[in-house]
């Protein structure tokens, strides 16, 4: 079974082309015109072992918000499409990842019920400009867009951290590692991993 999705989304604010292979090797070709977001998506692909190609453009002369959020929406939709009926997956994944001063934990449930709990970032993080253009507040927007469009229950918690770059990257890497576990096939799972028979 090929767990692959290719999607395009075009609005007056952005144009996104994205392809995803859940059974990849962590290869990526990312170009969103938002350098720090490229960095985070590259880390996500590398540590989740998905193959991910993204080409995005948008009205970044106004703000990076539309391009970043719309890309995350498309990534979520691609994850949902590539997962199909979710038969045979582990369903749950968790990971705790350090990056120097930062330590982040993520827990993923491929539940079909979109939910995000995101906590622990220091006061003022949401206002900090990372790389001079990417505000800390965008991290939550990205996780929210992915979770709601992929149908994931996602908990991301920063346990400790001081440097905004390290905080954001640790959170993304923790999400990537937890996601990898959750979507990996498990040979012992027969059918849909839910007592309801559907996810």
Q: Is residue 175 part of a domain?
A: yes
Residue 152: CATH number of its domain: 3.30.230.40
Q: Is residue 12 part of a domain?
A: yes
Q: Is residue 191 part of a domain?
A: no
pTM over 0.85: yes
Task: For 166-192, write each residue's pLDDT tens digit.
Answer: 999 999 999 999 999 999 999 999 999
Given a contact cutoff of 8 angstroms between Cβ atoms, the answer to whether 65 and 39 are in contact is: no
Task: For 81-107, write each residue's pLDDT tens digit.
Answer: 999 999 999 999 999 999 999 999 999
Q: In angstroms, what CA-CA distances link 86 with 44, 107, 122?
A: 21, 18, 36
Instruction: Count structural domains, the chain.
Output: 1
Q: Is residue 134 part of a domain?
A: yes
DSSP 185: B
Placement of tokens 């969103």 in the chain = 32
Q: CB-based contacts of 97: which residues, under 8 Å, 6+ apart?
A: 47, 103, 104, 105, 106, 170, 173, 174, 177
The residue range of the domain holding 146 is 4-183
């Amino acid at each position: 079974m090929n767990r692959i999705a290719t999607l395009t989304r075009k609005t007056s604010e952005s144009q996104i082309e994205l392809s995803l292979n859940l059974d990849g090797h962590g290869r990526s070709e990312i170009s969103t015109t938002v350098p720090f977001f490229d960095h985070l998506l590259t880390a996500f692909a590398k540590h989740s072992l998905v193959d991910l190609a993204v080409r995005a453009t948008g009205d970044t002369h106004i703000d990076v918000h539309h391009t970043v959020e719309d890309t995350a929406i498309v990534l979520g939709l691609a994850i949902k499409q590539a997962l199909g009926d979710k038969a045979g997956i582990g369903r749950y994944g968790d990971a705790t990842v350090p990056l120097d001063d930062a330590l982040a934990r993520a827990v993923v449930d491929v539940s079909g019920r979109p939910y995000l709990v995101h906590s622990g970032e220091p006061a003022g993080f949401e206002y900090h400009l990372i790389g001079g253009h990417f505000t800390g507040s965008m991290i939550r927007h990205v996780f929210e867009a992915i979770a709601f469009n992929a149908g994931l229950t996602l908990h991301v918690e920063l346990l400790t951290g001081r440097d905004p770059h390290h905080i954001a990257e640790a959170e993304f890497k923790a999400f990537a590692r937890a996601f990898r576990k959750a979507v990996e096939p498990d040979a012992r799972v027969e059918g849909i991993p839910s007592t309801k028979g559907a996810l």
